[in-house]
Amino acid sequence: MPDAGERIDRAFASGELNGLHGLVVLRHGKIALERYFSGADEIWGDSRGVIAFNADELHDLRSVSKSIVGLIYTIALADGLVPKPEAPLLASFPDYPDLAADPERQQLKVAHVLTMTMGLAWDESLPYSDPRNSEIAMEYAPDRYRFVLDRPIARPPGEAWAYSGGATALLGHLIAKGSGKRLGEFARERLFAPLGIDRFAWTNGLDGREAAASGLRLRPRDLAAIGQLLLDKGSHAGRQIVPADWLEQCLTAQTQTKDGLGYGYQWYLGRDRAGEPWFGAFGNGGQRLIVSPRQQLVIAIAAGNYNKPGGERMSAKLANEFVFGALAQ
């Protein structure tokens, strides 16, 4: 895709792709396009100044972390380390007997956490600098897991999808509890190392635990490798890292988002203009991972448009016009 690379360079220089830090495109398992640029960056809100990005630079994934946690939970499910989707959720939180005694909360299943259909009041529509944002309020709560599970009941579990970093925090806890390891360590052993990912970071929350919903940092090439793993039905270099049947369940729409996309176990699912399926992950600032089985294509985007209204539009334009558009020519 040499022409696409030149077009991207020109578009960045003209300001059309402001905030773009890195792009890796895999086609049929090989790098077809790779670009890096300089720009202002931050780690979980703390400024790093202007960074000259390259292939070795880690980058915040923000809410792409949620989808990676969904994949890690799927691996732990296959290992028998975590509760199955149909298991009662509060049975895994014995420290909260008062919540477990609530008849309405007794209806909560692990599946409702995996698919963000818990029915508990949660609002991340406010800026992440606003303490009224539910994820920020969770961060400052004395006990993040109790904070999530104690939210007012807004609707019956399973009835509707509602974006929730709290749901991902619960999954991170279940993975750590079931494996007996920190979330990052289990991820390293069962996902990252088998893929050859030897560098990553996971920002901790105020309680010292990994911020499951938004704290993972990877290199764009390594994020693309995870996309390729999904494309290859959980197999890499002859090793089945994620059992194919469990991965299929993870990437099957269990509910629908407010935007009309399908939603599996923390992964978004849609169809392209030809009606062919894609699945992906999205994060604040323009972070993206898009996987197209029909095109045998993986797109990993790192960007710095954090907390900017419409900050995701640049990444959408990059993927749709400059990558998919190049394939259509």
Give DSSP secondary structure letters for 59-107. Answer: EE-TTHHHHHHHHHHHHHHHTT-S--TTSBGGGG-TT-HHHHT-TTGGG
pTM of the model: 0.97
| Across 48-62, average pLDDT | 99
CA–CA separation, 208 vs 259, rounded Å? 34
In this predicted structure, the answer to whether residue 182 has a pLDDT above a threshold of 90 is: yes
| Across 119-142, average pLDDT | 96
- Per-residue model confidence (pLDDT) at position 310: 87
- Per-residue model confidence (pLDDT) at position 273: 78
In the chain, which residue ranges form alpha helices assigned H by DSSP? 2-13, 64-78, 97-100, 110-114, 134-140, 144-149, 165-179, 183-187, 220-231, 244-250, 313-317, 325-328
CATH superfamily to which 3-58+221-328 belongs = DD-peptidase/beta-lactamase superfamily (3.40.710.10)
- Per-residue model confidence (pLDDT) at position 267: 99
Q: How is the chain split into domains, by residue range?
A: 3-58+221-328
CA–CA separation, 318 vs 22, rounded Å? 11
Closest CA to 317 of 14, 2, 39: 14
Residue 75 pLDDT grade (very low, low, confident, very high; cuts 50, 70, 90): very high
In this predicted structure, the answer to whether residue 2 has a pLDDT above a threshold of 70 is: no
| Across 13-29, average pLDDT | 98
Strand-pairing partners, residue 77, are: none
User: Considering the chain, what percentage of its residues have pLDDT values greater than 90?
Assistant: 94
Q: Output phi, psi for 26, to 5 deg.
A: -105, 135
Question: Alpha carbon of 92 to those of 100, 147, 178: distances in Å?
Answer: 10, 15, 10
The letter for the amino acid at 297 is L
- Per-residue model confidence (pLDDT) at position 272: 85
